[in-house]
Structure 1
Amino acid sequence: MPLRVPLSELKRILATVRLIDNYDPYQHRVVENPMSNLEVYISLLKASIGIGCLAMPKAFQAVGWLNGLISTSIIGTIIIFALHVLLNGIYEVCKRKRVPQLNYPDSMALALQVGPKYLRYVSGGARSTIDFILAFYHFGICCAYVVFIANNLKEIMDFYGYTFDNRFYIFALSLPLVLVYLVRDLRSLVLFNALADAMFVVGFCIVFFYIFRDLPPLSERDTLGNIKGYPLLFGTVLFAIESVGVIISIEAKMKVPQNYLGLYGILNMGLGTSLILYMTVAFFGYWRYGDEIKDSITSNLPMDEFSSRLAKLIFAVAIFLSFALQGFVTIDVCWRRYSEYLKLKKSHPLQYVLRVAIVLGTVLVAVMNSQLLLILSLVGSFSLSYLGLIFPGIMDFCLRYNEGFGPHRIYLWQDIFLVIVGVIGGGVGTWFSIKELIQNYKMKM
């Protein structure tokens, strides 16, 4: 005899099932000091506009201006799309596990557990791998920031007759960087980010003044360039536009995270603005200076004019104010693993000791190699090809493995495409950057 369930009980069961299916992680988040949409946009601009933008003209010189414009727009679009895939994947994992929030490493590990059997075995090591690459990437950014600030300060002081070795300025930055890095809360950095954004606007206005003052005929510049320059362009664009750890951290601190994604979401607005600025600076910077372009376009500005020296100082201060934002992910990863191992509270004073150690580490690495563009290319090619392309493709593949890949397996081809672009671009770019860094180091010996 079939079991009869009362209508009221059946309605309650169906309501429960519906509630489970409709679980929205965003509705269950509890965020301390949440960030408004404007604060998110400001922080996003600061995370994606930095020394990578100033290095873009040199990357265009390697591939030609037309190739540079087309390639940068394509690479940038792929990167932004991959970030959407990644953030949607993290959201889907949270929804399935019925938790309001998860970080990148945990989301990747949980996604691998529902994928093919041959990928489930590596889920345990996924957390450590992603944590390492995240920490390495943002540590590399901080190293590049130290080199950039020191180079600009040296150029200014050399003009006034105070000629010191570049390493002196790098070491001198230790204490100021430690002080700004002791700011722990992400929202507390919004004021620094807003000030840095405003300084970048002023700095770029001065740069464009010099660019447009004496533009030569465009026909004097290479249109197509050399294919050997693509690894450098790929790594530089990756470094310039994508700051995965900060982008995820910003989303986690949002007051209204629903506004982050989507066609008209804050992520597209912020990174779209940045991408347009990159191509503009790269195109006109290469047009103006051609083969004379240096690792950072600020180094091409004439030192005998006050406004150019002011621009160098403005950019140096703006990057200095951005150091804590980029270093946020490194300390977050290191302290999370360290505190879990020793069972320490989040607010334990030892975190300040670790922050000081990270700053000193960036200073030492900057002293060892001060080739700015090669550092950018290496960090971008190695770290971001995995974090921003390969891992998002694998995560999406695993989450859809038992659910289907849509009509004509469109999502499968999407994931394969992201992985292939990441493997080829990242592999070639990393090999090229390491080779150049080794050659540069041997020349100094």
Structure 2
Amino acid sequence: MALKKSSPENDHDAFGMESTVTLDREGIGSKEDYDPFQHRNIAHPTSTVGSFFHLLKSSLGSGLLAMPAAFKHTGLIPGFFGTILVAIIATHCVHILVKTSRDISKECRVGFLNYTDTCVKVFKNGPKRLRPYAKFVRHFVDYAMAGVCLGGTSVYVIFIASSLKNIFDYFYPGYTFQVEVYCGVLLLPLILLTQVRHLKYLVPFSMFANLCLIVTFIVTCYYTFQDIPNVSNVNLFNSVQRWPLFLSTAIFAMEGINVVMPVENEMANPRHFLGCPGVLNVTMVLVASLYAVVGLFGYLKYGDEVLGSITLNLPENEALALAAKILVALAVFFTYFLQMYAPMDIMWTRLKDRISVRFHNEGQILMRTLSVMLTVILAVAVPDLELLIGLVGAVFFSTLGLFIPVVVQTVHKWDRGLGTCSYILWKNALLLLFYVLVLVSGCYSSVTAIVVKFTSTYF
């Protein structure tokens, strides 16, 4: 992609790339006079309503169907209030990331910055001791982003495989196979379709996936809200030792921070993103409400028998329920390619300069094939949807959604003021403690459960 050379009259980078503009350049004015919103050249800006739906879609997906299983680990009451707490923390971390991105864009005199460039610019313009770490930060954030996408797509693989097993076990009860076999069957079609390299060709698949998810959600609600058992049939509180799996699952379900910056950067009216009411707050209130309701009533309906996706608990002998299982498998199947687009782009950006131009096509094919194989291998290694969601949420989604925004805001504010009584520092210290709690306890609980389950299965 060719970029126009900067000029004094229009000295900004519309694509969020590295800026060559210094902060004190003569003739431009102070940074307080620069409004990034006035320097965004967006070819096809998104309306406020359109941005709302994009952000809503990023937070609603297979994670919504996993919330009843998350409630199983805490019980009804902690699960309900825990969902609200996770939503508040996730929303706050998105808020501070976007606010920091806007502030550093103003200082660097660029229209906008993407997630990675925001982090890099903060370190480059932060405390002198931290400036040499800017390159490391770029690598860390890019790999964290790729890890979120690859980890999430591994969950998709096991989600699809579990749905296929559920369907085929009903139609062919005499031929039952382990879920790992279905993961292997998915390998070839996933490799072939992941070779699509242009996002515009994936738009029809995205529309179809959204339609399938909507129908699945309606059908799931139809069964969930029928004949709900008495509250006495479920646990109001469960052992605190099981709560970490709830936290990591809830974070996996709600975190859509990897798409937040693209959505905000392409808004026609970016001032409508933050604030009250704003796109972010309205979206997260709706998301938290849906997750709390689905988690609460799904757990009430199926109790401790609820599976990693509530669709797996739907009746096997009813056409409507069977249609929902098929549709959700198709929806996640086509969503897989959309989620793979970002990590493929990140990795290829890093690899292409190391490969001869005449071998770029072969290099892309090999990279995409190996990446798909990696997601399938991870799914086969942990062929339990509920436990894999917990592990991926604890490691990848918490790092991208909690750790990085908190660190970036702290570094940015360090020399610019941490607020009255350094409240930003204390607040972020508490958020970092929460991140460490999720990371350590979530990993420990997930890995322990995985070892116990598969040790008892195979030995």
Distance 1:390 1:29 in 2: 28
- 8 Å contact kept, 1:115–1:397: no
* Aligned counterpart in structure 1 of residue 402 of structure 2, from 371, 384, 389: 389
* Aligned counterpart in structure 2 of residue 131 of structure 1, from 136, 139, 142: 142
Distance 1:191 1:140 in 2: 24
Distance 1:89 1:188 in 2: 34
Partner residue in 2 for 1:5: none
Confirm or deny that 1:317 pairs with 2:330.
yes
- The letter for the 2-side match of 1:29 is R
Confirm or deny that 1:296 pairs with 2:309.
yes
Decide which moves more: 234-243 or 160-169.
Answer: 160-169
Distance 1:302 1:417 in 2: 44
Confirm or deny that 1:55 pairs with 2:81.
no
- 8 Å contact kept, 1:301–1:308: yes
Q: Relative to 1, partners in 2 of residues 1:253 and 1:239: Cα closer, same or farther, differing over 3 Å?
A: same
- The letter for the 2-side match of 1:244 is I
* Aligned counterpart in structure 2 of residue 95 of structure 1, from 106, 119, 128: 106
Distance 1:35 1:349 in 2: 35
Find the residue that maps to 2:225 and give its secondary structure. helix
Distance 1:267 1:354 in 2: 35
1:371 is displaced (CA, Å) by 1.1
Distance 1:184 1:38 in 2: 28
Distance 1:60 1:395 in 2: 32
Partner residue in 2 for 1:160: 171
* Deviation by residue 1:9-30 (Cα, 9 ceiling, x = unmatched): xxxx999464642323333334
- The letter for the 2-side match of 1:357 is L
Partner residue in 1 for 2:443: 430
1:413 is displaced (CA, Å) by 2.6
Distance 2:239 2:78 in 1: 9
Regions of 4+ moved over 6 Å: none
Distance 2:457 2:128 in 1: 49
Distance 1:326 1:444 in 2: 32
1:233 is displaced (CA, Å) by 0.8
Decide which moves more: 87-96 or 29-38.
Answer: 29-38
* Aligned counterpart in structure 2 of residue 66 of structure 1, from 56, 77, 88: 77
1:300 is displaced (CA, Å) by 1.1
Distance 1:91 1:187 in 2: 28
> What does 1:288-367 correspond to in 2, within 5 Å?
288-342=301-355, 350-367=363-380
* Aligned counterpart in structure 2 of residue 28 of structure 1, from 17, 39, 44: 39
- 8 Å contact kept, 2:148–2:400: no
Confirm or deny that 1:110 pairs with 2:115.
no
1:173 is displaced (CA, Å) by 2.2
Find the residue that maps to 1:102 and give its secondary structure. coil
Find the residue that maps to 1:132 and give its secondary structure. helix
Distance 2:32 2:431 in 1: 29
- 8 Å contact kept, 2:55–2:260: yes
Distance 2:198 2:285 in 1: 27
1:176 is displaced (CA, Å) by 3.4
Distance 2:155 2:25 in 1: 56
Confirm or deny that 1:262 pairs with 2:275.
yes
- The letter for the 2-side match of 1:98 is R
Partner residue in 2 for 1:8: none
Q: Which runs of 5+ in 1 are unaligned?
A: 1-12
- The letter for the 1-side match of 2:285 is G
Taking only aligned residues, the RMSD between alpha carbons, in angstroms, comes to 2.7
Distance 2:148 2:357 in 1: 25
What is the percent sequence identity of the aligned residues? 33
1:441 is displaced (CA, Å) by 4.2
- The letter for the 2-side match of 1:63 is T
TM-score with structure 1 setting the length: 0.88
**Aligned positions, number:** 432
Q: Relative to 1, partners in 2 of residues 1:126 and 1:178: Cα closer, same or farther, differing over 3 Å?
A: same
Find the residue that maps to 1:232 and give its secondary structure. helix
> What does 1:124-273 correspond to in 2, within 5 Å?
124-161=135-172, 163-186=176-199, 189-273=202-286
Distance 2:339 2:443 in 1: 21
- The letter for the 1-side match of 2:182 is Y
TM-score with structure 2 setting the length: 0.85
Distance 2:29 2:266 in 1: 28
Distance 1:55 1:208 in 2: 14
- 8 Å contact kept, 1:85–1:392: yes
1:160 is displaced (CA, Å) by 1.0
- 8 Å contact kept, 2:344–2:368: yes
- The letter for the 1-side match of 2:341 is F
Distance 1:343 1:276 in 2: 51
Decide which moves more: 404-413 or 176-185.
Answer: 176-185
Decide which moves more: 125-134 or 242-251.
Answer: 242-251
Q: Relative to 1, partners in 2 of residues 1:320 and 1:24: Cα closer, same or farther, differing over 3 Å?
A: farther
Partner residue in 2 for 1:3: none
Q: Which runs of 5+ in 2 are unaligned?
A: 1-23
Q: Relative to 1, partners in 2 of residues 1:320 and 1:125: Cα closer, same or farther, differing over 3 Å?
A: same
- 8 Å contact kept, 1:385–1:423: no
Find the residue that maps to 1:285 and give its secondary structure. helix
Distance 1:343 1:29 in 2: 35
Distance 1:344 1:93 in 2: 36
Q: Relative to 1, partners in 2 of residues 1:43 and 1:179: Cα closer, same or farther, differing over 3 Å?
A: farther
* Aligned counterpart in structure 2 of residue 84 of structure 1, from 95, 98, 102: 95
- The letter for the 2-side match of 1:434 is V
- The letter for the 1-side match of 2:106 is K
